[in-house]
Amino acid sequence: MKQRYSIVVVGGGVTGLMAATLMARSPQHEALDITLVDIGPRPVFAPNDDIALRVSAIANGTAELFDSVGAWEYTAATRAAPYTSMRIWDESDTPDSAAALRFDADEFAIGQLGFIVENVLLQDVLLYQLDRTDVTLKFESPIRALRRTPHGYDLELGSDEVLAADLVVGADGARSFVRAAVGIEAREWPYEQTAFVTHLRPEKSHGGTAWQRFLRDGPLGILPLDDGRVSVVWSTAPEQAQAALAADDAETGRVLSEASDYVLGKLEVAGPKGAFPLCARHASSYVLPNVALIGDAAHAIHPLAGQGANLGLQDAAELAAQVSRAVAEGLHPGDRPVLRRYERARKGANATMLHFMTGLNRLFATDSKIIGGIRSAGMRAFNRSGPVRERAVKVALGVG
């Protein structure tokens, strides 16, 4: 009989769920015993519930990945808001100025630049697919310990159950237990910003446009929602984010209308509020023998360009492809040379995006007139630079 391998995916966020789904659907799935464990309850999306607080900008390439596992049709038909243009401008300019960046789906002959989708919907559609495979799902299952064994790792769950793994996939988010337990270090660059998030009803139609205004304290992202509201991600000084959280809705609406320079007229709070401290983080290594980190467990980046989940999902796709390839070649999927193929394919690309976002955030967060002048000239030059602009858009669309 063909050898079977036990794979334990730790974390049921979008990246862990995608990795498990892709492996369970791979041509080598019969050789894999896959278990996914998560400390939290099973996420449930109910179409009649209000739009959840956490939404993500999903690139076209990522939508194609969901489609490849049969999980996009329902998403698109349910509550995915396509956006067809983007406007990015500095607080000292206007969205129509020559120094503002403007991207339209039409100029690239595509239907949309991406979609705004609730995180819980993305999890729900992947769980629907996983329920149709033989993957074992264990929610509300904290890991108590991770012990090295001659064959891989033993994972001890809170229920005293022990799972033996030939490969542990650490998809347990920015404060990864797996990363710490196996001794992989992560470098951190605190942004000294907190993202305040809420939904608002704009006075003017959002017109399917995603807006980003760079303010000195951090960027303000305004994302179009399916029902005409917008989701705001305001990365700002932690005390300002806390003040917005504590303020009444009228005051929060007034502050955000001003921060957006009234680009959509007055904004009225119409949804829950939340705050998320921001920090860039990059694992020194993504793999060890019998362990691979994916998603935020490997890298956490500033949400300003909406890339975190998109990058994590690409990690999931690459790791699943390498596991499948290894099994087809008769190799052990937990061997370091196999896992290094995954790391080599993803770490450089993620590092480039992480440092670019960190630099961009700093570039706009300065009061210096000289840097302001260079920034403005750079944005004008970028607008005129055909190939560079096209390449940047391809990366943002997840097709570069």
Q: Which of 208, 276, 279, 399 binds ligand FAD (CB under 6 A)?
A: 276
Residue 360: name the closest of 152, 161, 214 by CA: 214
Q: Which of 84, 198, 290, 307 binds ligand FAD (CB under 6 A)?
A: 307
Total site size for ligand FAD, rule CB under 6 A: 32
- Print the binding letters for residues 93-132 with ligand FAD: x by CB under 6 A, - otherwise: ----------------------------------------
Q: Is 280 a binder of ligand FAD (CB under 6 A)?
A: no
Q: Is 333 a binder of ligand FAD (CB under 6 A)?
A: no
Q: Is 13 a binder of ligand FAD (CB under 6 A)?
A: yes
Q: Is 14 a binder of ligand FAD (CB under 6 A)?
A: yes
Q: Is 36 a binder of ligand FAD (CB under 6 A)?
A: no
Q: Is 296 a binder of ligand FAD (CB under 6 A)?
A: yes
Backbone dihedral angles phi then psi of residue 221, each to the nearest 5 degrees: -100, 135
Binding segment (CB under 6 A) for ligand FAD, from list 168-176, 261-269, 360-368, 383-391: 168-176
Q: Which of 23, 57, 280, 357 binds ligand FAD (CB under 6 A)?
A: 57
Smallest gap from Cβ 139 to ligand FAD, in A, equals 9
Smallest gap from Cβ 71 to ligand FAD, in A, equals 15
Smallest gap from Cβ 98 to ligand FAD, in A, equals 27
Smallest gap from Cβ 78 to ligand FAD, in A, equals 18
Q: Is 195 a binder of ligand FAD (CB under 6 A)?
A: yes
Residue 319: name the closest of 45, 53, 40, 7 by CA: 7
List residues near ligand FAD by CB under 6 A: 10-16, 37-40, 56-57, 142-143, 171-173, 177, 195, 197, 233, 276, 295-296, 303, 306-310, 312
